[in-house]
Every structure is written in C-alpha cells, then in structure tokens.
Amino acid sequence: MKDHHFQRPKKALGQHFLRDHSAIRRIACAIPEGVSVIEIGPGPGAITEALLNRAGKLAVIEMDDHFATHWQSVAEKNNVLSVIHGDVMQELDRAVKSIQPDWIAGNLPYNLSGPLTAMLAAYALPGGMVLMYQREVAERIAADPGSKVYGGLSVLVRHYYDVKRLLVLPPGAFSPPPKVHSAVILLTPHGKSPACKYQYLQQTVRQGFAHRRKTIANNFRGSITAEQFEAIGINPRKRPEQLDYDHWVSITNQLNDA
C-alpha cells in the first residue's frame, strides 16, 4: 500500500515530509539495532520504514487519521510496530511510562517544538533522542551560554543529555519544502545524577528567562538577594544567557531550599 505517500500534507499539523534518503539513513543509523523506540509523527513513514528495519520494538504516535489508519494496517502484519493514534502532547507521557523506550525519534511539528521539547527533556532515556527541528529552534537548543539564542530549552535538555547537532537539511529535503532549513539534534545521556528535580529546574528557567535583558538579580527579585547569589558563586549582575546549566541548578536549589 503506497497511497499514503500521496496524501497532501496538512498545514494545521505543521506537516513537512522528509524525502532525502541519505538524511533518513543517518537519522535511523543514529539509533542502535534491536532497541525499543517511540517515533513522534511518522506521517508517510520515511523514517519509520528505516526504523522498522532496525528497532526491536517501534511505537508511533500519529495524530493524522489517514496516517494512523495506514500504520495500524501495517502493525497488523508486523509485530515490531504498535500505533498510538492521538495528540503527542496528550499521549507522550502515558506512552513513555508504559513502553519505557530506549530511544525517542521524530520530525517534530514546527508549531509544537518548544513545549514538546520541554516535555521530552524530562525523560531520562537509556539510549537518547534523535529529533528534527526548524534550524533556528535547533540552534537555540544546542546553544552554549553566552550565545544570543541560548535560552530555557538550552538549559533543560542538558539536565539528562549531551547535545550534538547531527545534520542540517535544506528545504528541498522535504515535501512540501518548508520556508526554512531544518536540523537534526542528537541527545545522548551524560550519565551524571541530576542535582535538582527537573520540574523545579523548569520553573526556575521559566522565571529566569522571562525578561532576557534584565539581570539575574532583577528576574529573581524578592526570591534571592544579591548576597545569596554571591554566596552560590553567581554574579547577580549577569544576564540569564550568561549562566550555564550548573548555575541554573544552583539557583533552583537556592529557591527550593528556602
């Protein structure tokens, strides 16, 4: 059954389908053979087909009725595959808890990439994640402290993972071509024990980056004094993008030990 390849992508779902074979191969090959994988938004299945040949178990989360029906028919003949038909923002947590995947992969919907990444970064997977984004979003996620685009997501993904850019893709690698370049990011576990709870870090980062131009002392006025910042080794006159992951953990612990 090949008619699923010809469905028109839906703008409302942010659909752009990857068709560059060498990119598909590199994405699939970043995931070891025989592992358990969740793929977000398989669509017509460029990456899915490659993953089906590698994974021990593959669960796909698909919101689009047409594609979900197609993958359900494939799953009936292939016991490697299972299908979750629904919105990833509602289904992800249940799926991760029940499947306990080694890896998560996906060409993330552009319109969900920020909140979805904040959700994904909360899971300490044994394998890691291979995730595709608009290039600007990928650059924010992979940015180092001091960069203009370094922000909350740059901090959150480092709670459990090392971050690496895997490849950049031009618009022509997709059908239909988006107006922007895309990039694939590889997240692999760094293996260090987290020094604070992820949800506390998320709250701290949200507050700390709410006003990027303000100093860190201003953003936490009323919660942490300049003297307390100095005591935990942070210059209170620094701006949020100048602080590395360890600094954010220190602020989080200061807020939650109080």
Beta carbons within 10 angstroms of residue 201's beta carbon: 26
Of 158, 189, 220, the residue at which a domain comes to its end is: 189
Q: Which domain holds residue 33?
A: 3-189
175-193: pLDDT as tens digits:
888 889 999 999 999 999 9
Mean of pLDDT values over 7-23 = 66
Q: Judging by beta carbons within 10 Å of its beta carbon (0-12, 13-18, 19+), is residue 8 exposed, middle or buried? A: exposed
69 and 183 housed in the same domain: yes
Report the distance separating Cα 256 and Cα 35, nearest Å: 37
| pLDDT confidence tier of residue 11, bands split at 50, 70 and 90 | very low
192-225: pLDDT as tens digits:
999 999 999 999 999 999 998 999 999 999 999 9
| pLDDT confidence tier of residue 250, bands split at 50, 70 and 90 | very high
CATH of the domain at 139: 3.40.50.150
185 and 103 housed in the same domain: yes
Give the pTM.
Answer: 0.91
Domain count of the chain? 2
250 and 136 housed in the same domain: no
221 and 114 housed in the same domain: no
Report the distance separating Cα 176 and Cα 17, nearest Å: 7
Q: CA 167 → CA 25, 119, 131, distances in Å?
A: 12, 23, 11
The pLDDT value recorded for residue 258 is: 52
Q: CA 49 → CA 78, 92, 196, distances in Å?
A: 12, 21, 39
Of 136, 162, 189, the residue at which a domain comes to its end is: 189
Report the distance separating Cα 251 and Cα 155, nearest Å: 13
57 and 38 housed in the same domain: yes
71 and 166 housed in the same domain: yes
- How would you classify the pairing of strands 57-62 and 81-85? parallel
CATH of the domain at 216: 1.10.8.100
98-137: pLDDT as tens digits:
999 999 999 898 889 999 999 999 999 999 999 999 999 9
77 and 185 housed in the same domain: yes
The pLDDT value recorded for residue 237 is: 97
161 and 225 housed in the same domain: no
Q: CA 6 → CA 67, 176, 186, distances in Å?
A: 11, 11, 29
